[in-house]
Chains A and B, each alone.
Chain A
Amino acid sequence: NAGVTQTPKFQVLKTGQSMTLQCAQDMNHNSMYWYRQDPGMGLRLIYYSASEGTTDKGEVPNGYNVSRLNKREFSLRLESAAPSQTSVYFCASRQAIYGYTFGSGTRLTVV
């Protein structure tokens, strides 16, 4: 099925551990995004990639790094996880006049 595949779905990390969230889309979309969603707040943009080979900071980039490996894949890395990074993370892709397609989300808990 066409769409955005995001892994893992759940993860528990200890403070200071690192991990990479993977995202892949098979719709040939140019733009890809990483968002975090926290209770009582709207989705907040962490990083985005307007096209293969480019990445830009969003609203809340601190503590994260990204890689746009190719047109399909856009990964998000936490180098040293902190409890403040406990959140639900969504990857999304978008192409020009079309709307977003979202991944199913990753529920991350940092203890």
Chain B
Amino acid sequence: KNEVEQSPQNLTAQEGEFITINCSYSVGISALHWLQQHPGGGIVSLFMLSSGKKKHGRLIATINIQEKHSSLHITASHPRDSAVYICAVRTNTGNQFYFGTGTSLTVIP
């Protein structure tokens, strides 16, 4: 049983395309995180959300608490966006963290 499900698992896009990665979760949460893991392995925190929408540059993250769903959008995608994007949730009870298995994005020039 996976508390956090991401889709798609793999995604290939042409440079300039609009990209959406989805995350659904089954537990009550206090916050949802989007992380980026570079091909070299390093992990960077992109967003932390508890409601609504956040934007940073070409990246937009949204969350719908009622539907237990979040999306990460990348506008005008670029090859340097190629990475694995990971959704993680912190439960609102017991301080548990659950991670999705990641979406591997490749942006082709």
Binding site for B on A (CB under 8 A): 33, 35, 40-45, 48, 50, 56, 58, 88, 90, 92, 97-102, 104-105, 107
Q: Are A42 and B33 closer than 8 Å at their CB atoms? A: no
User: How far, in whole Å, are A109 and B8 apart by their CA atoms in the complex?
Assistant: 30
Q: Is B63 an interface residue (CB 8 A)?
A: no
User: How far, in whole Å, are A44 and B99 apart by their CA atoms in the complex?
Assistant: 7
CB < 8 Å neighbour of A104 from B33, B42, B97: B42
Chain A residues within 8 Å of B72, by CB: none
Chain A residues within 8 Å of B97, by CB: 33, 45, 48, 58
Chain B residues within 8 Å of A97, by CB: 48
**B89 CB to nearest A CB, Å:** 11
Binding site for A on B (CB under 8 A): 2, 4, 33, 35, 41-48, 86, 88, 95-102
Q: A42-B4, A42-B102, A104-B42 are in contact. Are A99 and B47 (CB under 8 A)?
A: yes
Q: Are B47 and A42 closer than 8 Å at their CB atoms? A: no
Chain A's interface: helix, strand, loop or mixed, by majority?
A: strand
Question: B41's closest neighbor in chain A, by CB?
Answer: A105
Question: B46's closest neighbor in chain A, by CB?
Answer: A99
Q: Are B33 and A100 closer than 8 Å at their CB atoms? A: yes
Q: Are A100 and B35 closer than 8 Å at their CB atoms? A: yes
Question: A106's closest neighbor in chain B, by CB?
Answer: B41
Q: Are A102 and B33 closer than 8 Å at their CB atoms? A: no
**A33 CB to nearest B CB, Å:** 8
**A74 CB to nearest B CB, Å:** 15
Question: B98's closest neighbor in chain A, by CB?
Answer: A42
Chain B residues within 8 Å of A104, by CB: 41-42
Question: A90's closest neighbor in chain B, by CB?
Answer: B43
Q: A50-B95, A97-B48, A99-B47 are in contact. Are A105 and B101 (CB under 8 A)?
A: no
Question: A100's closest neighbor in chain B, by CB?
Answer: B45
Q: Which of B42, B86, B96, B99 has the most CB of A within 10 A?
A: B99
